């Protein structure tokens, strides 16, 4: 990120089973800072000099299912939901509020177990994924999915994590 620019991360934990708030704050700070720095250096992503804010909600399947049904007409939980404060195209300057990202603990746990990876590694990937959505990245079509997944892979490598998409097709 540009010198002097910061991302203020607001965290709410509304379900049991998540790591304690201090651990989440440390992990989220490292992941978001690394992702923002990578995007600024390698993808030309601007950030406001005055900084911006990001809200993260650590919930359960029930809460995420309700929100997913209300906002996306999908009556099921999902691992992560992102709600940008302002629609952006990748590379556009965000406003002072980036948006909200929600996580469903049981779904994240099931997926990490099914993929045989540590819960924390999967959560880190989903933090990066949700953050990219707030900045206009998406995976609706194959070209966009390849671009987003490539960025995720490079950011995760900067965090010493392996490629979560290895041997898969774009989402």
Q: What is the pLDDT of residues 17-61, one digit of tens each?
A: 999 999 999 999 999 999 999 999 999 999 999 999 999 999 999
The predicted-structure confidence for 76-88, as pLDDT tens digits, reads as follows: 999 999 999 999 9
**pTM assigned to the model:** 0.93
Rounded to a whole number, what is the distance in angstroms from the first to the last CA of the chain? 28
Q: What is the mean pLDDT of residues 102-125?
A: 96
Residue where the block lists tokens 């965290």: 11
**Distance set, CA 107 to CA 9, 87, 111 (Å):** 23, 27, 6
77, 65 contact by CB (below 8 A):
yes
Counting runs of H as helices and runs of E as strands, what totals does the chain give? Answer: 5, 4
| Summary mean pLDDT of the chain | 93
78, 64 contact by CB (below 8 A):
yes
In the chain, where the domains are located = 7-158
Q: Is the pLDDT of residue 160 over 90?
A: yes
Interacting residues of 101 by C-beta distance below 8 A, sequence separation 6+: 54, 55, 56, 57, 80, 81, 82, 83, 127, 130, 131, 133, 134
* CATH fold for the domain made of 7-158: Collagenase (Catalytic Domain) (3.40.390)
Q: What is the mean pLDDT of residues 8-17?
A: 97
- pLDDT at residue number 74: 94
Q: What percent of the chain has pLDDT over 70?
A: 95
């Amino acid at each position: 990120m540009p010198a002097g620019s910061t991302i203020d991360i607001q965290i709410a934990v509304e379900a049991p089973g998540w790591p304690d708030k201090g651990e989440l704050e440390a992990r989220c700070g490292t992941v978001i800072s690394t992702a923002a720095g990578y995007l600024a250096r390698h993808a030309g992503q601007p950030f406001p000099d005055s900084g911006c804010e990001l809200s993260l909600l650590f919930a359960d399947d029930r809460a995420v299912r309700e929100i997913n049904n209300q906002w996306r007409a999908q009556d099921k939980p999902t691992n992560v939901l992102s709600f940008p404060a302002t629609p952006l195209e990748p590379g556009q300057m965000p406003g002072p509020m980036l948006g909200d990202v929600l996580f469903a603990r049981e779904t994240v746990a099931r997926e990490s177990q099914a993929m045989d990876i540590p819960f924390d590694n999967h959560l880190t990937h989903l933090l990066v994924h949700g953050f990219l959505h707030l900045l206009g990245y998406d995976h609706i079509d194959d070209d966009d999915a390849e671009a987003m997944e490539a960025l995720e892979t490079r950011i995760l490598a900067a965090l010493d994590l392996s490629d979560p998409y290895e041997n898969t097709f774009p989402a």
